[in-house]
Structure 1
Amino acid sequence: MARPTLSDLAAFCAIAQYRSFRRAAEMLGVSRSSLSHAMRSLETDLGVRVLHRTTRSVSPTEAGERLLRRLVPVLHELDEALDAVGEHDGQPAGTLRINGNEAAIGLLLETIVPRFLSRYPRMAVDLVAEGRLVDIVEEGFDAGVRLAEAVPQDMIAISLGPDVRFVAVAAPAYLENREPPSSPDDLKEHSCIRHRLPSGKPYRWEFERKGQRIVIDAPGALTLNSIQFMVDAAVKGLGIAYVPESAALDLLKEGRLVILLEDWSPFIPGLRLYYPGHRHVPPGLQAFINLVKERQKDR
């Protein structure tokens, strides 16, 4: 068996993690045809097929999954070693990879990232926004950003923003000829705009008041997989949406949406930047963490 090149192995990891030749090519800055050639070379060198390919999808084979599990931490450690070597005058150098949902990545772009790139010109930042919760270690990320309740218990977490709450909202036009719900159970008599999670399951609406917790499988003819689309649909009077208050804040201030069941909508711990506690923190990530802490002091 011939020994594969490091670039081919790195290309395989990117394709297997993104489940896409196109996205991997964009991330690596190469053409899809060159990636296809690299994968043919890799499989020839290994003597085994590592990717299932169809016209619509790509995924690791069983052998590919085994290879991926071993390769990701090895390549990550190599990146850390290169980052350490690349430090100049105590300044970090290299690439920082962070995974989070769209709201989290948007917050980073608005607050931390501009200051980070300005202060550390030898650093690059690779932000990946996706709805599904990923294993940041297995998929080669330095850190993740999620609501506190979604952060794995074995991670170190740092507050990135204030407490948040999810609220039921509707347009005044929707409520014109309807009795507003006075309890979560009343939602069963309304048209609700349902939210489909990245896993494919519908999101269940959670309410709490004075220690009483109610979870509702909201009824409704419209299901969306985007918070922003849910807010847009609510503004159009298509029903009641259950969304983060921050996503509807401007429309609430303008009176185009109103909050329902407000006394059933408590605040919960907000976004957290999290990273593995059992591994060495690379210089770039430590610098990013320090900026997050600086921002918390300034608030």
Structure 2
Amino acid sequence: MDPLSGSASGDNLAGRLSLYVVMQLASVLLPGAVVLMEGVVLLTGLIRVHDHAISSLFEMLARVGGIGGFVVVIVAVAGSYVIGYLCRSAAFAIFGLVERRTRPLESRDAQLRLLIGDDHFAELVRIHPVLGSRAPEVAKARLGAGGGHRDGAMHDTQTYCKLWLRRQAPELAIDSIEAEINILLATVFPVLLLAVDAVALGGTPLPLRILALPLGLLVCAAVVRAVLRLRDAERWEAVRNLAFDFLMHRAALCFQQPDQPR
């Protein structure tokens, strides 16, 4: 989900804009630049006509100045952004397929009832009816929403909770988890392409060429496992923090009206 969605005005919007810029830099532009560089190194190494093709290419680019240099920088930045965006989208698509096969969607109503009690849970659902519309669609959830999410009532509930927290309780927002997921998945293709470079290019020590792909796949598997854990935490904390916001408002109201039962 777009980190700017649901932003209020003022300081909250400025903070969210800063988060959005940082997330785009860390999960799109920088990984895209790494992939672009690795791709250039790989292609230059595979089609080189002499042993110093890579250094010659960089020397040629270094000699470009003036408007030509500015154009080269703009093209490199734009290319890095596009490549990074596509790689992150592909990583999310792959992750969504893995999650769909390994992590069935489960309602967290029982946990929420245990956390806040049946009476508070009933009142919470009355105030936020979207919380009561999840169970019927769990079985029909399908891959299709952005960010590798699965469409369905549970995703709608999570989106509602995140938007509410961003507007009404930014201190309880879970944007840090969303940013961490984006940044972690953005590392998948740079790691894989680095392993391919190590295998395909000459001059790489034989032990490293043998271990490069297994190590790259192992790192990617660790990243996917970490993101699976974070995605579970994201779903739970979105609903839990909405419940916390509800309880905090009730407590504040009780303190404002001490004669009312708590």
> Normalising to structure 2: TM-score of the pair?
0.26
Structure with greater helix percent: 2
Structure with greater strand percent: 1
> Normalising to structure 1: TM-score of the pair?
0.24
Work out which of the two has the higher radius of gyration on C-alpha atoms and give 1 or 2.
2
